[in-house]
Structure formats: C-alpha cells, structure tokens
Amino acid sequence: MNDHPIAFIGGGNMARSLIGGLLAQGHAPASIHVAEPVPALRDALRADFGVAVFDDGAQAVAGADTWVLATKPQVLRQVCGALASHAQTSAPLVVSIAAGITAAQIERWLGGGIKVVRTMPNTPALLGAGVTGLYASARVDTAGRDFADRLLSAAGKTVWLADEAQMDAVTAVSGSGPAYVFLLTEAMVDAGITEGLAADAARRLALQTVLGAARMLTESDVDAAELRRRVTSPNGTTQAAIEMLEAGGFRGLVKAAIHAARRRGQELSAAND
C-alpha cells in the first residue's frame, strides 16, 4: 500500500499522528495528500513530512482512492457535502476518525453508495503506540477492511467491532482515554508536591510510574486487579491509598465519566446531522 494515494481531509493533530505512522511504515510522502485550510498547519505538514498539501479538499482527493476524514465532527457534514460529487465519481474507500458521526451519516452526506469505515484512534498513535476501534459498513469488502486495518495499524493496535453502536463506547474508553491517564498523572504530581517533593522530582517519579505500570499491564499476562493486589501489602501504604480512592467513589466516578463521554458521542451525531 506504500504508494497507494491517500487524501487526508483535515491536517490537525490526529491527522499528523496518522501521517507520521504511515511514513514510518514506508509510505511515500508524495502519495499523501492533505487538505488543510490553515496556512501555518499546511506549512508545518510540508516541512515536517514532505506530504502534498492543499487548501481545498477537491484538489486533495484528486487521484486518491482512499480518503481519511480527519476534521472535527462539527464540520464534517459541510466537508462531505463539498466532496459529494467527487465521491460519486471516484467511489473511494472513506475512513473517518470523527467522534460520534456514524457511517450512515457520512455515506448519506457523500451522496449514497459509498464504502465507509468508521474508526476511533487515540493520540498515542503519534508514537505508534495507539489503539483504534474500527467498524466497516456493509458495502466495505475484505480488501477495504484490510486496507483500513493496515492504515490504522501504522498508529498501533486495531480492534474491529461488528456493531457500530459500540463505537461511542470505544471513543469513551480509548479515544478519550489518554486524557484520563494524563489527569491522574497531573493529580499525582500535584499531590507529591503537596506532600513535600520538589516539582521536578514529583514529575519524574509520577511519569516513570505511569510508564512502568503501563508496561506491566501490557507485557505480562497478569490482569490489572492482580497487579494491584501485588502492590498492596496488608495494612500497608497502598492499602491506605486504595481505601481512600474506593471510599471517594473512584470506580463509580470513572464509570460516570466514561458514560458521559459515550453520551457526548451520541449527541455529536444528532447535533451535527
């Protein structure tokens, strides 16, 4: 797929992460076209990646048989409307990364009869350490699914879903998920400073702890609950901390947060239809 032309519509943060992954996989920069209205972002894309940049979507999709929709959900209807006649002519495989917006909405906005793969990557894609949930609409054949899988594999792991209704839950767990880990890290650093550590020491201790814990989670067969138990000595320091988190409703709060994110995904679909 390395010279297979791909058009990105939107050249913001996530598009940059995916483009970085494609280039690391050996994709030819000249075969990546990006439509991005902000001149400074276009300049940065050209300078950083050597990709072909355009201020107009129609120019970017010319000759590309895969389109990646990477704008905010709020502008996607308008973006698709402007590209509908091109979609009808060239019948591309359309891969969306937009939160909330359904495959059926995209297909309708592009004039109908279009192959759409709806995906939800996350920002560790920048390091090739992301994870993406994917759902293919019925029109997408095996070759289209394989292509989408390879495209998103450049950003990390892939998880296919048979039921599109689950995509908002994917968004809530892994799409938004890095922010939860960052918030926990911020809170750990702040608390360390409150307990008397220098800011730099608190930061280094917290960051390496998150990295080490993530590696233990992903590099061993032991589940999170058992790993937690192994840190928690009876009547020890961890037990004191965990009891405080449980008493404060930590698990319920995480559930409520993820539910709120899933609901917002559904609202984005309805509000931008």
Ligand X SMILES: NC(=O)C1=CN([C@@H]2O[C@H](COP(=O)(O)OP(=O)(O)OC[C@H]3O[C@@H](n4cnc5c(N)ncnc54)[C@H](O)[C@@H]3O)[C@@H](O)[C@H]2O)C=CC1
Please name the residue that has the structure tokens 């894309």.
45
User: Least CB distance from residue 75 to ligand X, whole Å?
Assistant: 5
Rounded to 5 degrees, φ, ψ at 98 are -75, 135
Q: Which stretch binds ligand A1CAB (CB under 6 A): 3-11, 33-41, 136-144, 169-177?
A: 169-177
Please state the closest distance from residue 95 (CB atom) to ligand X, in A: 11
Residue with Cβ nearer ligand A1CAB (99 or 136): 99
Distance of closest approach, residue 121 Cβ to ligand A1CAB, in angstroms: 9
Q: Residue 169 corresponds to which tokens in the numbers above?
A: 């839950």
Q: Under the criterion CB under 6 A, does residue 71 sit at the interface with ligand A1CAB?
A: no
Of these partners, ligand X, ligand A1CAB, none, which one is at the site of residue 38 (CB under 5 to 8 Å by kind)? ligand X
Q: Which residues pair with 159 in a beta bridge?
A: 133
Whole-number minimum distance, CB 256 to ligand X, in Å? 21
Choice from 18, 32, 80, 99 touching ligand A1CAB (CB under 6 A): 99
**Token pair for 188:** 């750990």
Tell me the CB-side half-sphere exposure of residue 171, using CA atoms within 13 A.
Answer: 28
Strand 93-96: give its sheet, edge to edge: 52-54, 32-35, 6-9, 66-69, 93-96, 115-120, 130-136, 156-160
* Strands annotated E in 47-92: 52-54, 66-69
Contacts of 97 (CB under 8 A, 6+ apart): 14, 18, 68, 69, 70, 119, 120, 121
Residue (202 or 268) nearer to ligand A1CAB, CB: 268
Q: Is 171 in the site for ligand A1CAB (CB under 6 A)?
A: yes
Smallest distance, ligand A1CAB to C-beta of residue 122, A: 7
Residue 175 interacts with ligand A1CAB (CB under 6 A): yes or no: yes
| Closest to ligand X by CB, 5 or 57 | 57
| Shortest CB 72 distance to ligand A1CAB, Å | 8
Give the single-character DSSP code of 34. Answer: E
Q: Compute the residue count for the chain.
A: 273
CB 131 within 8 A of CB 153: no
State the residues that interact with ligand X by CB under 6 A. 9-15, 35-38, 41, 57, 70-73, 75, 79, 97-99, 120-123, 175
Contacts 24+ apart (CB under 8 A), 108-113: 109/76, 109/77, 109/80, 109/81, 109/84, 110/80, 110/83, 110/84, 111/84, 111/85, 111/87, 113/88, 113/139
Say how far apart CA 101 and CA 99 lie, in whole Å: 6
User: Among ligand A1CAB, ligand X, none, what does residue 114 contact (CB within 5–8 Å per kind)?
Assistant: none
Closer residue to ligand X in complex, CB, 120/202 = 120
Choice between 224 and 260, CB closer to ligand A1CAB? 260
The nearest distance, CB 175 to ligand A1CAB, in angstroms, is 3
Could you say which of ligand A1CAB, ligand X, none residue 70 binds, taking C-beta under 5 to 8 angstroms by partner kind?
ligand X
Where do contacts with ligand A1CAB occur on this chain (CB under 6 A)?
99, 171, 175-176
